[in-house]
Chains A and B, each alone.
Chain A
């Protein structure tokens, strides 16, 4: 597939941009792009420059690293430093500040922390080192959860006894429901996250559209994917409709990925969860079912941490779509990708990171 020809075509972008303008007129419209990957495309290709100033794009809470609370980093640090566990993680997480330090700093002090691209690499390591306690940091939304759960299923099948998951998995629909019900936003529409939707299916948003009378359009990650989604949302908003549609049809289907959903249902149950900046949200997380508790690092180890959110950082407001990075006094002065204070500056899906890199 030629990305440049198909999804980064400037002539098509100008055409769609003109259509958006003629449809929206002078009406003020606020649209939230839920996923951090979408936020990055918007900044990277400066898509705001292709939209009328009356259309406001609000970055949402869909960056898995960003919504992970400080307490989770502290737990991972506790396992690596106090329990001498070998901790495996995705790269994004190592520079997120915990209360006292980052995983990267703990590694420099001698803690055994390794970055991987696939959770299965952590399980392989556990099999090769039966004398070690191996923990994988399973964070993310519905997209990254299935591969993490696969390690538990394989560990179970192969009788691996020294492997566990420190799970902090989040569910997109309850988070969107919380955003909509707090009514601080006046959001006119949502671009729902393409990859999460590939797992949960577009049908997962039906009841949200109905309950809150708001349109949702699933969007992809290429610049034109997003412009198409915005064009569709603007049309729906102007017609006063609250449909649930899909502009990323080459990936997500209405019913989602049945294998992944079955795996999640098999191993996990929905639980209330704390998201950084958003607080406790009912049913917004997943926990391993009791029958898998020996693979649950939270239950396997007596983890004791006292956590404190970083002072002065407004990550929470940014994640909730209530503030933008330049409104934070730390942004660019104290908080940079090299010396991040909040998680939004660390992750390559974080809004502050995108604004720092691409919005000079």
Chain B
């Protein structure tokens, strides 16, 4: 096999077939498709199906804690999981740039296989295209996912006094990628939190009636909660001193003048539950490896209808708005 991606790998001919069979199928193994027809026949137990899709264009392709392959699985299975579904099947569409190292592709597909197994899903269909050198950023991935509904949330049941809980530290993924992109090597301890969340979510929803959940990816915790509060008769008050941050995230964001509440997460879920269930959710999260640093970060309040409000460390209150534009790191 060649050691670089060639335009011919997207031709639909022999090279494409060789790539699909000897790279994708071989590496995906039991996490991959059983046949290579135009469509796949799926057995879906239960009746309500959740279907979603997401595209991945991350730079750099590899980062501490994962790579574009890990993300391509986590992003889609987590969207299914926070929709209350057990993820079952994924599609995998890849757009490769001519000249991409075959070895890089192997590593990415191996991550997809590993993460798919961890998430309990199978990649059942896929597509490969190759674009000319200079017309892509190495590799772009799209995944679509199908899951069956196991827990239906209803945000209309959210009410004053409800607790807002997160399963761990905030902003790790966004800040660690920023660190890498901008060539800071002083924060080697920081890595992406990228992980499939269904197992943790299931352990919570099996016991507690969760009213609302969301994975705070792009736009971060503040954007996700802001969307929840919009046009509601209640708001949410976050307590700054209860927000869990990795030490490196705190210091880096102070240094750069960025707010980690708006930084992306790829292994975090926000739960809103009735106050009497808050302790149970915290305990269930802490029993799970992906919920060790779970915290109750806020409360639903009717004092600030429609708003997301931060009670600062100084006991003053200010609103947290929508993210307006990509934050710019400051000069000094």
Question: Which residues of A approach B to under 8 Å, CB–CB?
Answer: 3-4, 8-10, 13-14, 37, 40, 43-47, 49-50, 64-65, 90-95, 115-117, 121, 139-140, 143-144, 195, 223, 336-338, 346-349, 356-360
Contacts and interface: CB of A to CB of B under 8 A. Distances in A.
B38 interface: no
Given A10-B315, A349-B331, A359-B318, 14 more contacts: A8-B313, A10-B314, A13-B314, A44-B318, A64-B331, A90-B330, A92-B329, A116-B182, A144-B332, A336-B324, A338-B325, A347-B328, A358-B318, A360-B307
B125 to A, nearest CB: 36
A182 B174 CA distance: 46
Contacts of A43: 318
Interface residues of B, number: 25
B184 interface: yes
B8 interface: no
Given A90-B330, A337-B324, A4 B312 contact: no
A348 B330 contact: yes
Main secondary structure of the interface of A (DSSP, over half): helix
Contacts, number: 98
23 contacts: A8-B314, A9-B313, A43-B318, A44-B318, A46-B318, A50-B314, A64-B332, A90-B331, A91-B328, A91-B329, A92-B331, A115-B329, A117-B182, A117-B184, A117-B256, A140-B331, A140-B332, A144-B331, A223-B312, A336-B324, A337-B325, A348-B257, A348-B329
A79 to B, nearest CB: 19
B327 interface: yes
Nearest to A89: B331
Nearest to A65: B331
B26 to A, nearest CB: 40
B330 A347 contact: yes
B167 to A, nearest CB: 22
Contacts of A337: 324-325
Given A46-B312, A358-B318, A37 B332 contact: yes
Given A44-B318, A46-B317, A338-B325, A143 B330 contact: no
B321 interface: yes
A187 to B, nearest CB: 24
A348 B316 contact: no
A115 B184 CA distance: 13
Given A117-B184, A357-B321, A47 B316 contact: yes
A267 to B, nearest CB: 19
A93 B331 contact: yes
Contacts of A4: 241, 313
Given A64-B332, A95-B325, A338-B325, A360 B316 contact: no
Interface of B: 182-184, 241, 254, 256-257, 307, 312-319, 321, 324-325, 327-332
- Quick one: which of B316, B317, B328, B329 has the most chain A CB within 10 A? B328
Contacts of B183: 117, 121
A240 B331 CA distance: 37
A357 B327 CA distance: 11
B238 to A, nearest CB: 14
A360 B321 contact: yes
A91 B314 CA distance: 29
Contacts of A91: 328-331
A14 B315 CA distance: 9
Centre residue among B315, B316, B330 by max chain A CB count within 10 A = B330
A43 B310 CA distance: 13
B225 to A, nearest CB: 15
Nearest to A349: B330
A4 B327 CA distance: 24
A319 to B, nearest CB: 16
Given A91-B328, A338-B325, A360 B312 contact: no
Contacts of B317: 46, 49
A13 B313 CA distance: 10
